A and B are shown apart, each in its own frame.
Chain A
Amino acid sequence: MLSLFRITDVSAHCDLPCGVYDPAQARIEAESIKAIIAKVADNPDPDFRTRAILIKEQRSELVKHHLWVLWTDYFKAPHFEKYPELHTLFNEATKLAGASGTKGELDAGKADELLAKIDEIARIFAETKKA
Chain B
Amino acid sequence: MPWPALVRVRGRSMLPTYRDGDVLLVVRGVRPRAGRAAVVRLPPDAHGVPRPLSVKRVTGRDPDAPTRWWVDSDNPAEGVTSFDVGSLDEADVLALVLGSVHRGLG
Q: Which of A's residues lie within 8 Å of B, judged by CB? A: 1-4, 6-14, 16-19
Contact = CB atoms under 8 A, between A and B. Distances in A.
A2 B94 contact: yes
Given A8-B5, A8-B8, A16 B52 contact: yes
SS class of chain A's interface: helix, strand, loop or mixed? loop
12 contacts: A2-B5, A2-B94, A9-B8, A9-B53, A10-B52, A11-B10, A12-B11, A12-B18, A12-B55, A13-B12, A14-B80, A16-B10
Contacts of A3: 5-6
B42 interface: yes
B61 interface: no
Nearest to B85: A17
A18 B39 contact: no
Nearest to A13: B11
B58 interface: no
A16 B8 CA distance: 15
B8 A10 contact: yes
Given A2-B95, A4-B5, A10 B45 contact: no
B28 interface: yes
Given A17-B80, A19-B45, A10 B55 contact: yes
B79 A14 contact: yes
